[in-house]
Structure 1
C-alpha cells in the first residue's frame, strides 16, 4: 500500500470513529460500557473468523503471542477510558486519552530507536494544543480518573506502536483475529465476574453494538493494521487524532451539542499540526514526497521509515 493511500484510509477511519461517539452516547442508556465492549469485540472476532476462515489454520505461535499482547493493550485501553471517565470529567478524559499522540513517538524511540523529525515534533505539539482547546473546560487538580485516563493513553500508544511493529512481521489478518479474540475473551470474563453478561434482545442496543463492531472495530482496526505497514505509528497517531474533530462535528449535527469558538480553534490547530508534520506547510516540499513507494524503499532518515527489525 502506498503511503498516500494509507493516510487517506486512516483519515476515513477518523470519520467513522467520530460517528462512534454519537452511537455510544445513544446506546449507553440501555447497556453498560462493559457489555458494549464485549459485544463489539466478540462480534468483530466472529466476523473475522468467518471472513478469514482459511487463515485460522495458519495462525502460528508468533501470531498468537503478538495478537494476544495487542488484545490486552486494546481492551485495557478501552476499560481504563471507561472507568476513568467515571471519576473525572469527560473533557479531561478525552484530552488525557488523546495525549497518546505524544506517547507514541516516545515509545517508538525508546523501544525501536525511531527518531522523529522536527516538523513532526511541531505537529505533535500543535495537535495536543488543538485537542486541549476542543476538550478542556478547566483543569483543576489531578484525581484517580485523570491517572486512569493517562494509563488509557499509554495502552492506546502501546497498541499502536506494537501493531506497527508486528504487521511487518506477521500476517495482519492473523493478528486481527487473535487480537479481537483476546479482547472479547477478557470482556466475557469481566462480564461473568460482574454478573452482567448481555445476550441481546434490546433492538437499539443490538443495532448499535453491531454498528460499532462492524464499522468502528472490524473495518477501522483492519485499515489501521494494513496502513501501518506503510507509515509509522507516529504518523498514524497524528492522523487518527482527527477523530476528535469528527466527534465534535457529528455531536453538533446529530446530538445538537453546542460548538464554541474555542472548539473551532482547536480543530484548526489539529489540522495545522497534521499538515505541519506532513510538510504540507513547507512550500519547498510536497505533501507526499514518497508517494507510490513502499516503506522499505524510503530513505532511512525519513519519518516514513520502517521500524528496525
Structure 2
C-alpha cells in the first residue's frame, strides 16, 4: 500500500514541482491532512482484527456526525438540515451494518474504530480549511506522500514482510485500494471540498456502504434483510436532504 501511495504521488509530481517555491500553507496543509488520513486508515486496519465487520462499518461511519459536533467546538456552525441529514446517515449506517443490534461494545477493536472515525472527521475538516487556498492536485500529492511515509513506518513497526513477492502476489487489491479507492477518490474529495461543506461531503461519501451492499448482492450473491435495506434508504434520504436548497436560497 505504501508503494502504491508513492506511485500515486509520482503522478502529481510534475504539477507539484511546477511551482518554484511551494507555498508553506500547501505543505503544512497536505501534511496535516495526510496525517489524519493515514491515522484513520491504519487504525481501521488494526481495529478490524479485534471487532466484527458490522460494528466496524457502523463505528467508522460515526465520522459523519462527528464533523458538525467538532465544528461547534471550533465555532463552525452547521445548518439544521446538515444536522438532520447527519443523524439520518448514522441511523442508516447502524441499520445497514449491525442489522439493528449491537450485542457488545467496548473491546479494543471498537475503541480503535471510534478513534479512527475521529481521525477521518478531522481529515474532512482539515481539507475544508486548506483546500480552498491550495491547488487540488498539489495538496493531494503532499497528502498522499505523507500517508505513504506514515504507512511505511506503521508497516515496519508492525513487522510486515514487505517483500516484492508478497506485494506482487496481491497487486490487484493493492492497486484498487491504493490507487482507485484512495488515490483517485481522495483527489476528487480534495477538489470538491474547495466549495462544499465537510459535513455535506461526509454524508454523500456515506453512500459507499450502500454501494457495497449493491455490489455484494450483484457479484457475491449476498442476501440482506429488510432492516439492512431500510438503512440503505435512510442513507439515500440523508443525501437527498442535504442537497435540498435552504430556505434562503432562491
Contact 2:96–2:229 (CA<8 Å) still a contact in 1?
Answer: yes
Contact 2:132–2:195 (CA<8 Å) still a contact in 1?
Answer: no
Q: Distance in 1 between matches of 2:160 and 2:108?
A: 25
Partner of 2:38: 75
Alignment of 1:215-254 (within 5 A): 215-254=180-219
Cα deviation for residue 257 of structure 1 reads 1.9
Partner of 1:60: 23
Cα deviation for residue 203 of structure 1 reads 5.3
Cα deviation for residue 195 of structure 1 reads 4.6
3-state SS in 2 of match to 1:86: coil
Contact 1:164–1:229 (CA<8 Å) still a contact in 2?
Answer: yes
Contact 2:42–2:151 (CA<8 Å) still a contact in 1?
Answer: no
Alignment of 1:138-157 (within 5 A): 138-139=101-102, 140-157=104-121
Partner of 1:126: 88
Contact 1:59–1:174 (CA<8 Å) still a contact in 2?
Answer: no
Alignment of 1:144-223 (within 5 A): 144-193=108-157, 194-199=159-164, 205-223=170-188
Cα 1:85/1:276, change in 2 over 3 Å: same
3-state SS in 2 of match to 1:167: helix
Cα 1:56/1:212, change in 2 over 3 Å: farther
Q: Distance in 1 between matches of 2:165 and 2:187?
A: 25
Cα 1:144/1:202, change in 2 over 3 Å: closer
Runs in 1 of length 4+ with deviation above 3 angstroms? 53-58, 200-204
Cα 1:276/1:195, change in 2 over 3 Å: closer
Q: Distance in 1 between matches of 2:241 and 2:164?
A: 47
Contact 2:67–2:198 (CA<8 Å) still a contact in 1?
Answer: yes
1:190-236 deviations in Å (ceiling 9; x for gaps): 23331522435765621332233332122211111111111110111
Gaps of 5+ in 1: 1-36, 291-309
Contact 2:16–2:141 (CA<8 Å) still a contact in 1?
Answer: no
> Given the two structures, how large is their TM-score scaled by the length of structure 2?
0.90
Alignment of 1:279-290 (within 5 A): 279=244, 289=249
Contact 1:43–1:213 (CA<8 Å) still a contact in 2?
Answer: no
Q: Distance in 2 between matches of 1:85 and 1:192?
A: 19
Partner of 1:30: none
Partner of 2:233: 268
3-state SS in 2 of match to 1:258: coil
Partner of 1:114: 76
3-state SS in 1 of match to 2:86: helix
Q: Distance in 2 between matches of 1:128 and 1:267?
A: 11
Superposition RMSD on alpha carbons, in Å?
2.2
